Structure 1
Amino acid sequence: MELKRRKFQGVLNILSFNRHFYVYGLLVLALIISSYIIFQWNAILFWVIIISFSYGLIMPLIVSAYVYDYSGYYDFNWLKDLKLNNSKTTKIVNINAGFDETSYIIKDKLAKSNLAVFDFYNAEKHTEPAIIRARKVSLTYPNTQQIKTNHIPLHDKSVDVVFLLSAAHEIRSLEEKIQFLKECQRICKPNGNVIMIEHLRDFPNFLAFSIGFTHFFSRKTWQQAFKSAGFTSFNEVKFTPFMSIFNCSH
């Protein structure tokens, strides 16, 4: 399996999956410019609106290129800081929300691991155009199992590491998050870990995505969800100003 990513693959994914947003944005921009030409309204207001719109369209692409194409996110060198042991066979679970860019890389980096992949995508709940488009082009790791967020089909205390990589925010309700994380906690061994990577609903991501940052959740929300699910350790390390790595255990 070819693991090498294309140049600017991350930002091209953002453009492809969210093209409706950019089409509508450019149409609105064209209407604003047309109305200014026709009606000659206030020039200062016009340029404030143009700059704001342009910022909202371009900045997410710049940040996405930085995070997904230039930060080393998909090189997985950040695994070294987590001190995962590849010298012995470990049971690893990778759970996605219908778009999987990481399972083959995890298996390549942790070759001796026993990797199981699960997908909690629910067509009735996950109706956003972006995730529907992403799912159509996503690679499917062999034997990926479709699951519900309230049940992971594995035995209690059987897993060393659960990866939740830019996926868990697709679970929108706090109650469902807690139920899902309880399942993750149930399958983890006493010394097991859940490793989650997420954008947060914070100031850097507001600067990056403007109103789009509401698609993510705050550190406080995640901490509450993990605590309610029975986790006693909730450690955060920033991976770029825009993403956080959470290493949680019980």
Structure 2
Amino acid sequence: MSLAKSVQILATFLAISTLVACSNGGFSALSTAAENASQSTGDNNGQGSTTPTTPSAYDKLDMEGYVSGGAYDGNFSVNLDKPNNALIINLPIPSGSFNSLSSVSIPNLPGALIKTYYDSNNRPQVAASIPLSYVLHGVSTLPSASLPNGNALPSMPVSQASTLAFSLSNGADNTVHLYLTPNAVGIYLENSYIPQYMGVTTSIRNKVQTKILGYFTIVSKTDNYSGGLFAAFPLSNDVVQAIADHLSGASH
């Protein structure tokens, strides 16, 4: 990696380490993993009726996904936050210290948010809300990189992608890396507690286990690098088209 890219990543790392809290917009999908489309309901006392609208391909998208199998089986991984036009991506925090972030903005990625929280089983999690425009088109203003250990990005369509990194603590226990390339997003939690020889990949599936939405990889620790957890979300052509059509309509 060039010196200029290294300096840019370091600057982003330092900037986001001192974030302050912002609004909670974009994280509505975390309160309930399923995002229900808004509908007009209720009794209008016979004062006429509303014409039902046909759900769009975007409305019908089922993007609620969970790790399928392995040590993190059933952990929430992804959902489409339809009202806010964002993709929620999520990873468990295996161990180590982390700061409590209640939905804060990510520098150099306007509209993107990150938060840490405990799920219903009291397990620590980190989630990012990524605007769909970045999901479809990537981010050309960020440097490209592979995993910190130099390996290609697992289960992503490219070996490197535009990235930024930031720490969840004042130490080196948990560092988040976001990766964005057109039609695919990845999130990596570099964690000093992941042991060696644990490398494994499993699928991320919808609730009824009929559709693969992404891939979850445990990256093994090496002599020189910490291990970590990586989730990749390459979008299928039909999902890309549904989102593109929706965004095009939303901009008019």
| TM-score, length of structure 2 as denominator length | 0.27
Give the strand-richer structure, 1 or 2: 2
Identify the structure with the greater helix proportion.
1
TM-score where L is the length of structure 1: 0.27
Bigger radius of gyration among the two: 1
